[in-house]
Amino acid sequence: MVNPGAFQGARKTFLMGEKPGYAAAVQGGYAADQLALIQRQFFKRFPIDKGDTYEPTMEEIEAVDDGEAEADDESADRGALSEKEYEEEQTRVKERRKLIDFKRGQIKRWLVYQYMKDADIDPKETGAENPYRALLHKLTGQGLKRPRKKTAVNIWRKSQRDSIESAAKARVGLTQITKGKYLALLDKIAKEEFLKLPVEEQSAWAEIANEENEAANISFEQGLHSPASTLPEDRQRCIEGLVRFMEPILDLVCEATGWKASFMAGGPEPAVGGRLNVISVHSGETSGDVKLTFGRAERVRYKKFIVPIFGSFLQSCYTPDECRSRAISSEGDCSLLNDEDLGEAGASMDRIDFDTSGVDDRPSGSEGLQSNPVSSTTAKTSSTMASSISAKKPTTTHSPTKKMAIATTPSTATTSGKSPWS
């Protein structure tokens, strides 16, 4: 049976109507404020105390005044209750708060999912305007198609849509035809009507089509060969599409090599004020009934050791001023990424403790390792692990977001007999 989703009926109708406002808020950098407003309006229409089975009438929904103040749910006076009654009341208040927090989380995840589905970069999306698609083309030589050539008829028919559809419906009458045949009929009528135009007018439309084709080809070439946009909004879209882009690549690496693979990337995230974030994507699982990726099997130690090492590296790459300059908004958190949602895709996100609000007063040299709260014992252990993984210094490439890919095979095990992870 298909999962009906968390919201149905009037609840889903209400949230669907809020999608445009939420999308505008994400683009404008005030998603957190808009989300809180939507949640408040949701509870006004669907009170938490009435349960999920309550379905208000249309009259009840229309009667809701979003500007009206609401009474707080306060606990009864302790002096008026017995000890047992007071404990029961406190339990009720706590359970109610849990329900509210749970429902707020559901609303946020639903809106984020809808926005990601509608606006997120899809690696399969055609066109050079998709930076990931352009990257695939550069890597493989495949994947991009030049813009389809427009004809004079195609351009002209856009301004005649209503008359062409009316003519098609008149020809069909009451006859039932398939969608494919109806579209073919529209094409036929458009060509017939276009040929009735004076030759001079047909030539004018042909010239317009040539101009649009030339502009589309120029845009295609620019998107293919120009460097990726450095606008914070464009970089944020790429960050949000990073997991979807890297997952199939890592899966193919594992399939081709028989290895397990992990990808780590980090840098300032525009949607959270330019704070340093790290995204990790893992492919390949353990054996046994419960299969785990590296990120899930070693989440605690990954977060304790590897993330701080990479975080210290990131802090040596970006100054606080540079981080702030990449922010979409300095107010609130409008990022669509969270560890819970990424975890469902076998990925994870970690935020680096790096203050970007003040001046750049970071210590240099080895002291820089301590800018992220890691004890000296942990730092020493991390250093040992890093050196035991590979004695050969990796080759790095400069890019706006620092990245590291790790592939492991049984041959990389240490020979000391003791795991460096212990």
The kind and range of the H/E element at 403 are strand 402-408
Which two three-digit tokens encode residue 139? 């890597």
- Token readout for 156 is 């002209």
Task: Give DSSP secondary structure letters for 212-232.
Answer: HHHHHHHHHHHHHHSPPP--H
Q: How many Å apart are CA 382 and CA 131, to the nearest integer?
A: 35
Determine contact, residues 101/95, Cβ cutoff 8 Å. no
Give me the count of residues in the chain: 422
- Mean pLDDT throughout 104-117? 83
Identify the pLDDT of residue 358.
Answer: 46
Q: What is the pLDDT of residue 382?
A: 36
* Cα–Cα nearest to 22, from 334, 254, 276, 240: 334
For residue 265, name the pLDDT band (cuts at 50, 70, 90): very high
The answer on pLDDT for 264 being more than 90 is yes
**383 vs 247 pLDDT, higher one:** 247
CA distance 130 to 127: 6
Cα(250)–Cα(247) distance, integer angstroms = 5
What is the arithmetic mean of pLDDT over 4-17?
A: 84
Assess contact for 302 and 346: CB atoms under 8 A: no
Res. 285: pLDDT tops 60: yes
- Predicted local distance difference test score (pLDDT) of residue 4: 54
Greater confidence (143 vs 212) lies with 212
**% pLDDT > 90, the chain:** 19
Report the C-alpha gap between 44 and 387 in whole angstroms.
58
- The CA-based angle 187-192-195, given to 5 degrees, is 125
Q: Are residues 359 and 398 in contact, defined by beta-carbon separation less than 8 angstroms? A: no
* pLDDT computed for residue 137 by the predictor: 55
Confidence class for position 134, pLDDT limits 50, 70, 90: low
Prediction pTM value: 0.46
Please tell me the distance from the alpha carbon of residue 188 to that of residue 93, in angstroms, as a whole number.
68
For residues 79 and 317, the model is more confident at 317
> What mean pLDDT value characterizes the chain?
74
Q: Give the C-alpha separation, 287 to 284, whole Å.
A: 10
| 408: pLDDT strictly greater than 70 | no
**Whole-number Å distance between alpha carbons of 385 and 127:** 43
Across 207-317, the runs of DSSP E, i.e. the strands, are 260-269, 275-283
Q: Of 266, 261, 303, 302, which Cα lies nearest the Cα of 282?
A: 261
Q: What is the mean pLDDT of residues 342-352?
A: 63
Q: What confidence tier does 261 reach under pLDDT thresholds 50, 70, 90?
A: very high
- DSSP-based three-state secondary structure for 398: coil
Distance, in Å, from the CA atom of 329 to the CA atom of 232, rounded to the nearest integer, reads: 10
- The CA-based angle 174-180-185, given to 5 degrees, is 65
Looking at residue 42, its pLDDT comes to 92
User: Please, what is the Cα angle at 250 between 246 and 254, to 5 degrees?
Assistant: 175
CA atoms of 384 and 43, how far apart (whole Å): 53
Report, as an integer, the average pLDDT of 265-273. 91
